[in-house]
Structure 1
Amino acid sequence: MTKAELVEKMAKDAGISKVAATAALNSFMDGVSKSLKKKDGKVTLVGFGTFQKVRRKARTGRNPQTGAPIKIKARNVVKFKPGKQLRETV
């Protein structure tokens, strides 16, 4: 599902305009992004799941074309853990 398809579904299900649905979705995504930027970034939506920022350590990888080892820098990544209700639905 694309963002446009999600906006269309939200608008139809909530009985609102696509403009309002787009604003709501953008606000949600902005709120999640800003919360994850914080030191202990975590967003929990009960029944749906949890978005959490975790630190991935530096490591050595391999170039798939040449097989040569390469250094991969440490960085923050976002992990999603689905909630019970979402797991049962899927």
Structure 2
Amino acid sequence: MNKAELIASIADKADLTKAQATQALKSIESAVTEALKEGNKVSIVGFGSFETATRAARVGRNPSTGAEIEIPAAVIPKFKAGKALKDSVN
């Protein structure tokens, strides 16, 4: 399912227009992004939680030349599925 299909599904299930569903999805994306930027964890009970983790700096290899390169440390977003989501998928 791509973003357009997700918006259509939200609009259908929530009895909204596609424009309203688009705005709702953008608002959720924005709220989660802002919370993660501030270092907060976002939990949606039954669905899952979003949080950040720090990935350490490491040495990698350029696949074309084989030369070693330094990969800097980074903060990455993580998602952990909740029990209800896991159960519904299985």
Shorter-chain TM range is over 0.9
Paired AA for residue 47 in structure 1: G
User: CA-atom RMSD, angstroms?
Assistant: 1.0
Matched, 1:10 2:14: no
Give aligned-pair identity as a percent.
Answer: 48
Where do 5+ consecutive residues of structure 1 fail to align? none
Aligned to 1:62: 61
Aligned to 2:86: 87
How far, CA to CA, are the matches of 1:20 and 1:9 in structure 2? 12
How far, CA to CA, are the matches of 2:20 and 2:70 in structure 1? 45
Where do 5+ consecutive residues of structure 2 fail to align? none
Q: CA deviation at 1:19?
A: 0.7
TM-score by length of 2: 0.92
Paired AA for residue 71 in structure 1: E
TM-score by length of 1: 0.92
Aligned to 2:52: 53
Q: CA deviation at 1:64?
A: 1.8
